[in-house]
Amino acid sequence: MKRTFTICTAVLLVFVGLSVQAQQDPQISMYMYNRLHSNPGYAGSNGGICATAILREQWAGFDGNPQTGILTVESEVKAIHGGVGLSITLDRLGAESTLAAKLAYAFRLDLGPGTLGIGVEGGIISRSLDTLTAIEANDPNVPVESSSDFVPDFGFGLYYHTDKLYFGIASSHLSEGGLKLETLSTTKVYNVARHYYAMAGYNYDITPTLQLRPSLFLKSDAASTQFDINLSLMYNQLVFAGVSYRVDDAVAVMAGVHWNGFKLGYCYDITTSGLNNYSSGSHEIMLGYCYKWPTPSINQQYRNVRFL
């Protein structure tokens, strides 16, 4: 009963204000395997076509706990001097459901030892709320039937990478659109807050077969900020394992395999905040595949002067 009340209260607090700022976008622990989701400048950086899906169940044990699915597809397209990408996010928290779909384009520019991606994205974001039962009858702030709305959504990002390192900055929900929600007595406005992202990572060769991969990820909506730091080991470009710390929230352990273009990973978040008294942690599964475009061969012709 306490867990149900907690989630329902959180949902109501989001929706009953006259002008309520959005909660942060869904968080993922294996962010390093799905960079397009937060930065359109990443599109086309893999030199092929890649698809990645992440499924996350956050705070397992709660009734109405957050559940998220993210699918991204991105590809290098040399004819347009860059890459394109598609990102689809489905997120559910209690009675609230969110759908976001975005197309991205990144212009890729050789810069020093690496490549800079200058990316833009555009699409829609839609939120809906199922019917809620009010504690007090005829409460004018509680929707008596399901309601939904959508607005255009835009973002921008810069992403730089070499064979060994990467870093990027981005911002989403630039238009900060207002989603309308009908209640018994009035129309509430749900403002989509602008988000800011920063990421960085480095691949350090300990031995010819063992690689250390530290990375950082920061997400903020200017009202609250989340900061992740990860340390992973990759063995023989085949098996990886790592641990992350999310400040004031969780410690995450992850492991997975790379094989013949496929990636499969699992992550378990151990909640360190006050929610650990009610939650048994969070689960996350990642599945991806990359097909690298073949490198065109250079035909070299030699002419023997004897046969001119």
Report yes or no on 193 lying in a domain: yes
Instruction: Give the pLDDT confidence of 45-102 residue by residue, as tens digits.
Output: 998 999 999 999 988 777 778 899 999 999 999 999 999 999 999 998 877 889 999 9
Domain containing residue 101: CATH number: 2.40.160.40
Q: Mean pLDDT for the chain? A: 84
Report yes or no on 302 lying in a domain: no
What is the C-alpha separation between 36 and 31, in angstroms, rounded? 9
Report yes or no on 300 lying in a domain: no
Contact 70, 28 (CB under 8 A): yes
Residue 5 scores a pLDDT above 50: no
Instruction: Give the pLDDT confidence of 99-158 residue by residue, as tens digits.
Output: 999 999 999 999 999 999 999 999 999 988 776 666 666 666 666 667 778 899 999 999
What is the C-alpha separation between 58 and 70, in angstroms, rounded? 14
Residue 305 scores a pLDDT above 60: no
Domain that holds residue 255: 2-293
Instruction: Give the pLDDT confidence of 205-257 residue by residue, as tens digits.
Output: 999 999 999 999 999 988 888 999 999 999 999 999 999 999 888 999 999 99
In this prediction, residue 58 carries a pLDDT of 86
Rounded mean pLDDT of 27-38? 94
Whether the full predicted model's pTM is greater than 0.75, yes or no, is yes
Report yes or no on 301 lying in a domain: no
Report yes or no on 18 lying in a domain: yes
What is the C-alpha separation between 266 and 255, in angstroms, rounded? 6
Q: Please tell me which residue, 20 or 90, carries the higher pLDDT value.
A: 90
3-state helix, strand, coil in the chain (%, to 5): 10, 55, 35
With tokens 């930065």, the residue in question is: 39
When divided into structural domains, the chain yields a total of 1
Q: Which residues contact 3 (CB under 8 A, 6 or more apart)?
A: 61, 62, 63, 278
Report yes or no on 83 lying in a domain: yes
